[in-house]
Amino acid sequence: MPALYLIRHGQASFDAEDYDQLSSLGERQAAHLGRAFAAAELLPNNIIIGGMKRHRQTAEHCLAGLGAGTQNLSWDTDPDWNEYDHLDLLQAYTALPGVGEEMVADLAGENPRAGFQTHFAKAMQRWVGGEHDADYAESWTQFSARIRRAIETASRSGKGNVFVFTSGGAISAVCGQVLGLSPSATAQLSWQLVNAGYSKILSGQSGLKLLSINEHSHFDGRHRELLSYR
């Protein structure tokens, strides 16, 4: 039975024109995770990456940090592991009367990241609420079904350790499904996931078992400066 390591990508480029790429911190986070795996002598038997640039870059830096034993490993790309479209969520949210102007004002304030996070949390809760599905290219229900298909595919990918490089929304959706969480609680869980952290799922004949969520002890102690959530 495979052990699935669901690895969140390193920090993306929040302030860049192209968000879907690792920041310099994100590259360091991914490489450090690989070194932590190497120290634990934890090697993947199979590798799956989502179809986004930050997934591939995280895999590349992580495997480079892991070093010996990974040179000949290839990976399968499965776009089912892609993150939801955050721009689509924001577009539907900011179309509400007065919301767009309020968000612009908050982003121009002293702490634009905090302002963005506040509004994005509201946009996400609206999405997962299920009352406005027609406003989105992919509803929460459709996203959840896609992630369920992704985890089922990964569970059939062979024995041993399967590294899956994906995003926080996808990982929280898997954990929420295994734990039977509500959509709202699943959304709340996603805010706690660190960049380049991982959650472990055991896939067996009796189904999926969640062994750990959001492991990030590799960022403890003197490596704490590498810790980030966004």
Kindly provide the residue ranges of all beta strands, DSSP E only, lying in the chain, ordered along the sequence.
Answer: 3-8, 46-49, 76-77, 161-166, 198-204, 207-215
For the chain, give every domain's residue range.
3-84+140-226, 85-137
Segment 176-196 mean pLDDT? 94
What is the per-residue pLDDT for 100? 79
Segment 178-188 mean pLDDT? 94
pLDDT in tens, 26-48: 999 999 999 999 999 999 999 99
| CATH topology classification for 3-84+140-226 | Rossmann fold (3.40.50)
Instruction: Judge contact between 124 and 89, C-beta under 8 A.
Output: yes
- pTM of the model as a whole: 0.91
Question: Could you tell me which residues are beta bridge partners of residue 209?
Answer: 202
Q: Higher model confidence: residue 148 or residue 71?
A: 148
What is the per-residue pLDDT for 105? 76
pLDDT in tens, 198-225: 999 998 877 899 999 999 999 999 999 9
Amino acid type, 182? S
* CB within 8 Å of 211: residues ≥ 6 apart: 3, 200, 201, 202
Percent of the chain whose pLDDT exceeds 70: 96
